Structure 1
Amino acid sequence: MDSFDGKVVVITGGATGIGFSFAKRFGEDGARLVIAGRRKDRVDEAVAALEALGYQAAGAACDVAKRGDVEALADFAWSTFGQADVLLNNAGVSQTARGSILTLDLGEYDRVYGINIYGMLHGIQVFGTRFVEQGTPAAIYNVGSENSFFPAVPGSSAYISSKHAVLAITEQLAEDVPDFIDVSLITPGWVASEMTDGFPGAMETDRYTAIVMPQLKAGHFFAVSHAYNMVHIDKRHDALRAAFDTYAPRYDGDDEFDVRTAIARAMARAKR
């Protein structure tokens, strides 16, 4: 989607931080905005700030962990603007109780997964099905993290694993939707937000969204930012490459045990 002019963009967790900065970026491009968040007072403040900048905006309270709230958000978007074209699944929470995976209370996983994974899935299913039915160019952008690629925050296995899940779900989503729906995985690193309060030195939020927006408009699947991430990503890939080169090196016909190849062959045989 190379332009958002006239599009209706729904942003969960859009009242503050990265979500609010993205709202301004979409507004600059001519989009109409629907801001959602659990704190209605902050949503109202965000809407007022966006309107003061000259953007069309509306807001609704929404807890993405509750599917009914997400369905109500979709109803609100369509009733307010007559359509929705873009969903930015931005709502997320950090891990508050940190510690070893051996001893971390499983309740922390439930809390984090409820928003970071199931909240995203609610958005995908509720808005995605409507986008398909609408049949016009649309987009679903999921906010992952540098933690989607490697463990960036020690002692945060609930958060890290939730963002790994965002990567996997977004990759599958890109295969499942029609071509007229763009899908991107947004992967912020250390960016100033409520999550990073108390940790100075993070990238300024508006600087971050300025880097990402051109990637979304160009239709890139991975929307990236922090350059040093490649050091950690390469470390994982180098270890994988060394393991495969040593114990499972390539050979002619090695696709014999490749699952995707086997499924494609089976499907081709079934069509004969």
Structure 2
Amino acid sequence: MDLSKVFSLDGKVALITGASKGIGLTIAEFFAAAGAKVVLSSRKQDKLDEEAARLKGKGYEATGIACNVGNMEELPLLVDKTVAIYGQLDILVNNAGTNPVFGPIHETSLEAFDKIMDVNVKAAFALCNLCFPHLRKSSSGSVINISSIGAISPEPGLGVYSISKAALVSLTKVFAREWGDSKIRVNAICPGIIQTKFSEALWSNEKIMAYMLKQLAIKRLGTTDEIAALALFLAAPGSSYTTGSIITADGGFTI
């Protein structure tokens, strides 16, 4: 049995937001290693250029395009540039996220609420729609939304963030339902605590970590590689009958 094509992304073009570090960058590297041409996007062009050059040094095809996904006016240009460079778009990973507050939900301002919802939900909605004309031309269009276990069970101190990720789960299911006829699959990953800079407020807090570890079946933090491997599955032919799925990778926290 030849399984070489099950996880192959040869000939595919993938756009990954929040891809200058952490989970997004690791997903980009996994996709590139699987044969995809990857577009890394985040706010700072210099950091993107640095990471794209590093990937090219490994023999991969990568390009960095700066975009603040919280600014809706920048999103069409991101998609247009991607297609202008590579001529197609097969995979979208909505990974960019933000959480400018940590604490009780009643202390969260409306301004913070709007920013979280704009980046974590509205940008994903807008990018999906902007990418739709290109994804439906693909023989295997795939959208992967990076949600959170907070969508299933609210995380301590991350009330509005958890709300936004729950909305992203619902968004995933709606798009999956409506885009099936266009042969576009839409799935979401809900990571647990992954050791990245973004989640440092959680894993650097001894009290929170002690609580979290008690809840885990696998009593350790997750790695970006473990999330990227799952994203590769959802992007590749091996998951061709998988859509609308909300997959946790949380060490058993939500069992």
Q: TM-score, normalised by structure 2?
A: 0.83
Residue 147 of structure 2, aligned match among 132, 139, 144: 144
Task: Give the aligned partner of residue 222 of structure 2.
Answer: 203
Kept after mapping to 2: 8 A contact 1:63/1:69: yes
Q: Tell me, in whole angstroms, the C-alpha distance in 2 between the residues paired with 1:227 and 1:98.
A: 23
1:192 and 2:195 matched: yes
Task: Give the aligned partner of residue 176 of structure 1.
Answer: 178
User: CA RMSD, aligned part only?
Assistant: 1.9
Kept after mapping to 2: 8 A contact 1:65/1:119: yes
Q: Which runs of 5+ in 2 are unaligned?
A: 1-5, 205-219
CA 212–11 in structure 1, closer or farther in 2 if over 3 Å, else same: closer
CA 211–181 in structure 1, closer or farther in 2 if over 3 Å, else same: closer
- CA displacement at 1:211 relative to structure 2: 4.4
Q: Tell me, in whole angstroms, the C-alpha distance in 2 between the residues paired with 1:224 and 1:195.
A: 18
Which residue identity does 2:139 align to in structure 1?
T
Q: Tell me, in whole angstroms, the C-alpha distance in 2 between the residues paired with 1:88 and 1:137.
A: 14
Task: Give the aligned partner of residue 13 of structure 1.
Answer: 18
Q: How does 1:54-203 map to 2 (within 5 A)?
A: 54-94=59-99, 96-132=100-136, 134=137, 136-152=139-155, 154-177=156-179, 178-197=181-200, 199=203, 202-203=221-222
Q: Tell me, in whole angstroms, the C-alpha distance in 2 between the residues paired with 1:212 and 1:140.
A: 10
- CA displacement at 1:208 relative to structure 2: 3.2
Q: 3-state DSSP class of the match of 1:99?
A: coil
Q: Tell me, in whole angstroms, the C-alpha distance in 1 between the residues paired with 2:8 and 2:163.
A: 33
Q: 3-state DSSP class of the match of 1:123?
A: helix
Q: Tell me, in whole angstroms, the C-alpha distance in 1 between the residues paired with 2:138 and 2:252.
A: 39
| Deviation readout 1:127-181 (Å, 9 max, x if unpaired) | 123323x2532111111111111112x1221101000000011000001113511
| Deviation readout 1:177-233 (Å, 9 max, x if unpaired) | 1351111101111112221236356322123323443354332323332232233xx
Task: Give the aligned partner of residue 247 of structure 2.
Answer: 223
Q: 3-state DSSP class of the match of 1:187?
A: strand
Count of aligned pairs: 228
Kept after mapping to 1: 8 A contact 2:18/2:24: yes
Q: Tell me, in whole angstroms, the C-alpha distance in 2 between the residues paired with 1:52 and 1:185.
A: 31
Which residue identity does 1:90 align to in structure 2?
N
Q: Which runs of 5+ in 1 are unaligned?
A: 232-272
Kept after mapping to 2: 8 A contact 1:62/1:70: yes
Q: Which has the higher contact order (CA 8 A, sep 6+)?
A: 2
Kept after mapping to 2: 8 A contact 1:196/1:202: no
- CA displacement at 1:33 relative to structure 2: 0.7
Q: Tell me, in whole angstroms, the C-alpha distance in 2 between the residues paired with 1:28 and 1:81.
A: 17
Q: Tell me, in whole angstroms, the C-alpha distance in 2 between the residues paired with 1:79 and 1:165.
A: 31
Seq. identity, %:
28
Q: Tell me, in whole angstroms, the C-alpha distance in 2 between the residues paired with 1:77 and 1:47.
A: 14
- CA displacement at 1:99 relative to structure 2: 3.0
Q: Tell me, in whole angstroms, the C-alpha distance in 2 between the residues paired with 1:202 and 1:103.
A: 28
Kept after mapping to 2: 8 A contact 1:215/1:223: no
Task: Give the aligned partner of residue 217 of structure 2.
Answer: none
Q: Tell me, in whole angstroms, the C-alpha distance in 1 between the residues paired with 2:158 and 2:71.
A: 24
Q: How does 1:20-39 map to 2 (within 5 A)?
A: 20-39=25-44
Kept after mapping to 1: 8 A contact 2:148/2:190: yes
Q: 3-state DSSP class of the match of 2:65?
A: strand
| Deviation readout 1:91-117 (Å, 9 max, x if unpaired) | 1112x3233333321111011111001
